[in-house]
Amino acid sequence: KRHRLRSRRNSKMSFRHFVKASNGVKMPAFMYGTAWKKEATTKLTSLALQSGFRGIDTANQHKHYAEPLVGEAIAEHKDSIKREELFLQTKFTFARGQDHIIPYDVDADFTTQVQQSFDSSLKHLGTNYIDSYVLHGPYSGEGLTDADWTVWRKFEELNRKGFAKMIGVSNINRLQLEELFAKSEIHPHIVQNRCQAKYGWDREVREFCTANNIIYQGFWLLTGNPQVVQDERVIEIAQQLNRTPGQVVFRFTHQIGIVPLTGTSSELHMREDLEIFDFALSDDDVKMIERIDG
C-alpha cells in the first residue's frame, strides 16, 4: 500500500491511526465530516471529538456547512485537545457552489477570493493555520480552467508559506486530476471524492492516487452504497466478526486505500466507526465486496 496504516498507542499525538502524505504531514485515517448538520453542527462536532475523532472536515460554504459552528465545537475542547492534536480540513468553494452568503468579494479576482475565504476560515476555526486546504471542485465538469489554475497557484503559495500544511481537491475526475498533477508546481496531497460501488469505488481516480502518492478520501460510503451495507454476504461477515455491516464497509474501504469520512449523528456509530482498526477482513472478503456493484 502506498499509504501505510500507523498505530501509536503511547504518543503525544492524539490520533493513533493515521496516513502520511507525500510531504510527510500526518492525517487521521478516519475523518468526521460536518456537511448538512446546520444548527446541530456544534453539538455533533463536539460529540465526534468526545468520541475520539481528531480529523474534522468542513468547508467555508454556507450552503452545505456551518464552519463557524465547527469552530465553536473546537473551542469547547481547547482545554482538553491541543491544536496540534487536531487535523482541520476546510475548503474554498467557487461562487457558483455558494448560496447567498459568500465569504469573499465575488467581484474580486480569484486570488483575492481564495485569500479572503482562507482568512475567514481561520477566524471561524480559531486557528492560524489549516492542516488541509481543499478546492471544493473544479470550476467546470470538463477540463481545468484558468480559474482553477489561478486558485491552485494561490493554494501553492499558502502551502509554501506554511499556512496550509497540505493542499488538495475534491469532486474531481481522472482526466482533471491527471492535468492538475502534470502541470502543478506542488502536486495535490489529497483527493476527496464521492465513492460508490456502482462506479467501482471511484477506481480510476483511486488508482491514479495510489500510483502518485496522493491520499484518497472517500465520502458517502454508507449512504451512497445501501446495496453493499444490506448485502447478505456483508451481513454474514459482520456476524462472524461480531461487528456491524457499517463497520465492515468502512474497514473494506480502509483496506483498499481509502481514508473514510463519516457524518453520522449517532454517538454509538461514532465509537463503532473508530473501532474499524481493531479487526481486518480477509483478502477474499475484500474481493467479494469489491464485486458488489449494485
Q: Summarize pLDDT for 230-270 with one digit per residue, the tens.
A: 999 999 999 999 999 999 999 999 999 999 999 999 999 99
Report the pLDDT value the prediction gives residue 6, as an integer from 0 to 100.
46
Report the pLDDT value the prediction gives residue 2, as an integer from 0 to 100.
37
How is the chain split into domains, by residue range? 18-225
Does the pLDDT value for residue 8 go beyond 50? no
Report the pLDDT value the prediction gives residue 142, as an integer from 0 to 100.
83
User: In whole angstroms, what is the distance from residue 198 CA to residue 228 CA?
Assistant: 10
- C-alpha separations of 283 from 23, 204, 287 in Å: 30, 21, 6
Question: Is residue 58 a contact partner of residue 90, using CB atoms and an 8 Å limit?
Answer: yes
User: In whole angstroms, what is the distance from residue 256 CA to residue 3 CA?
Assistant: 10
User: Is the pTM of the predicted complex or chain greater than 0.85?
Assistant: yes
Q: Which pLDDT band, with edges at 50, 70 and 90, does 12 fall under?
A: very low
Residues linked to residue 168 through DSSP beta bridges, in sequence order = 134, 190
Report the pLDDT value the prediction gives residue 177, as an integer from 0 to 100.
98
Q: Identity (one letter) of the amino acid at 100?
A: H
Does the pLDDT value for residue 294 go beyond 70? no
Superfamily classification of domain 18-225: NADP-dependent oxidoreductase domain (3.20.20.100)
Number of residues written out for the chain? 294
Does the pLDDT value for residue 65 go beyond 50? yes
Average pLDDT over residues 179-190: 98
Q: Identity (one letter) of the amino acid at 99?
A: D
Question: Is residue 291 a contact partner of residue 231, using CB atoms and an 8 Å limit?
Answer: no
Cell of 291: 464485486
User: In whole angstroms, what is the distance from residue 68 CA to residue 227 CA?
Assistant: 35
Tell me the per-residue pLDDT of 22-45, one tens digit each, with 9 for 90 and over.
999 999 999 999 999 999 999 999
Report the pLDDT value the prediction gives residue 293, as an integer from 0 to 100.
83
Tell me the per-residue pLDDT of 76-99, one tens digit each, with 9 for 90 and over.
999 999 999 999 999 999 999 999
Q: How does the average pLDDT of the chain come out, rounded?
A: 95
Report the pLDDT value the prediction gives residue 120, as an integer from 0 to 100.
98
Does the pLDDT value for residue 13 go beyond 60? no
As a three-state string, the secondary structure of the chain is: CCCCCEECCCCCCCCCEEEECCCCCEEECCEEECCCCHHHHHHHHHHHHHHCCCEEECCCCCCCCCHHHHHHHHHHCCCCCCHHHCEEEEEECCHHHCCCCCCCCCCCCHHHHHHHHHHHHHHHHCCCCEEEEEECCCCCCCCCCHHHHHHHHHHHHHHHCCCEEEEEEECCCHHHHHHHHHHCCCCCCEEEEECCHHHCCCHHHHHHHHHCCCEEEEECCCCCCHHHHCCHHHHHHHHHHCCCHHHHHHHHHHHCCEEEEECCCCHHHHHHHHHHHHCCCCHHHHHHHHCCCC
Report the pLDDT value the prediction gives residue 141, as an integer from 0 to 100.
82
Rg (CA), the chain: 18
User: In whole angstroms, what is the distance from residue 47 CA to residue 65 CA?
Assistant: 17
